[in-house]
Every structure is written in C-alpha cells, then in structure tokens.
Amino acid sequence: MYNRKKRFGDRYDGYRVRSLSPMSYVSPFIMKTRNTSSNLFSGSIELGRIENYIKKKRREEELSGFGFLHVLLAAYVRMLSQKPALNRFIAGQRIYQAGEDITVCMMVKKSMELNAQESAIKVIFKPDDTAYDVYRKLEEAVEEAREEGDSNLFDNVARIINYMPSFLIRMFISLLEFMDYHGFMPKIIHKASPFHCSMFVTNLGSLGIPPVYHHLYDFGTCPVFIAFGAKRTALEVQKNGSVEKHKYIDYTVVSDERITDGHYYATAFKQLDWILRHPDSLDEKPEQIIEDVD
C-alpha cells in the first residue's frame, strides 16, 4: 500500500505527480476544463461467465443481493490496483494521484417510488478489496443513505446552499472553486461533494434504457464517468454455422484525457475487460499493488 509521505506541493486529497512528460505538464493549461478535455468511448460486456458468477455468489447467505453493479465496481477497483494512473485528477492545473483511496460516487433512490428523492453516496474502496469487500461497503453505504432519508451530509449541505439567494450561491460556489483550485477547501465540503471522487457510475439498466455518455463535472476532481444500460440479447453465427444466443450489457466511458496518455487508457480498459471475463479472480486479493509514479 502507499507509504508515500506528503511533500510541499501535495494536497490533502492527493500527491503531486512530478515525473511527467513535458506535454503532460502543459496540457492542463491548454485544456483548462474536464468537459473540453473529455474522451468518449463505449464497449459491451458478455454476461455468460458473469451471470454464473452472480448466481454462485447469491447462494451465499451474506451475498443474497449480489449483482452486476458489484461485479463492475470490484473489477474497476482491481483494475486501478494495477493501473493507478486512472486514479489521478486535475486540480489547480496540476496532476495529482489520489493515493490508495478509490472513491466511487453514484446516485441512489431513497425508495422504489417513481418520484422518490435521490441522493449521492460516496464509497471508499482500497486497491486490495475483493468482491466481498466491495459488496459489503456498497450495501452499507446504500442502506445508510436510505435510513438517513434526506438528512445525510450531502443533502444537508445542498439544503443550506438552497436557502441562499442566487447571488450568494454564485459567490459561494466561486469561493469553493477558488479554495479547491489551491487545495484548501474545507474537508467537510470535500467529504459531502459527489464531484470529488475517482469515478462516478450510473446504472441506467434499472430504467431499462441504453447507457448515455454522461458529462464530467468541471467542479471537483472526478476524472471518469461510467454508465451502463439494460441487458440485451444478440444472436451470433458461430464458425461452424450454428447460431448462439448471447447476453450483453453495453457501457459508456467519459474520461479526462489529461491524467494519462491514450496507450495507458487502452491497456487499463483491456485489463478491465479481462477481469470481467474472469470474475472469479475477484474472490482473492491481488498478488501485488502497483503504485503510481512519483
């Protein structure tokens, strides 16, 4: 795990990445915002092995609610344990590594009613977390959000801001942006903010629709947004001429291209694809944790 000590230029929420190419240093000054620096791509996940894996897990009493979201998050955490540069972020036109904390944000419904209130949850994973760890941490966060109703930290901060007149809200957000830029935003705001995370994920499959390309947020530090849609079935012709039915889930990724290069992104998501095709590997901790460059 990370043994790196804080040095001058580091932030409370990250370590300055210093051994970068000259272009990597300059790019945040040229491409100033996340949405003007976004790359978009999509892919499909074949569900054969994953569905078998989920069925096996659900037979365990403590994993009765195990599903695709848990597999995806566990696979993403495992990928970051080997490809840590995707856990970087841009702040103050500098590139930082978030360390061993892998913070995932998502929106959850307070109840299963159409007009039920939504709230953001933040779940902190570690690079050596297994599928069991991911399931436990996510379920605890969802249950806590539903029990708190509309009184969790994010909702309370949002409610306070909502009471302000418009001009004060603009001034307050500008102040937060200034403080975040320089790395001294209040930690309670950082803790409540769903915009400060390693990855934001949304499950559009629960709505029965395909995934959208969701924008990144210029406020905060989130470098990756993943959306996945509903299951679909495809009939595919095999080499011997037979036709087989396969199930897929489509997903989209919007990423901040400035945190690392295209080759690194490609190898990282190829590794994610391999992990999803071998979900049993998520039952055990990784053999080693790769640390990002200094």
R_g of the chain, CA atoms, integer Å:
20
Amino acid 77: pLDDT: 98
Q: CA-based angle 219:225:228, to the nearest 5? A: 150
Give the CA-trace dihedral at 59, 61, 67, 70, to 10 degrees.
Answer: -130
Residues of the chain with pLDDT under 50: none
Q: What domains, with CATH codes, occur in the chain?
A: 15-248+255-279 (3.30.559.10)
Amino acid 116: pLDDT: 64
Amino acid 115: pLDDT: 64
Q: The whole model's pTM is what? A: 0.92
Ranges of beta strands (E only) in the chain are: 15-16, 38-46, 88-91, 94-97, 102-109, 118-125, 199-203, 224-237, 243-256
CA distance 221 to 226: 15
List the strands of the sheet with 15-16, edge to edge.
Answer: 15-16, 94-97, 88-91
Amino acid 93: pLDDT: 94
The one-letter amino acid at 209:
I
Cα-based distances in Å from 109 to 116, 144, 176, 210: 6, 12, 27, 19
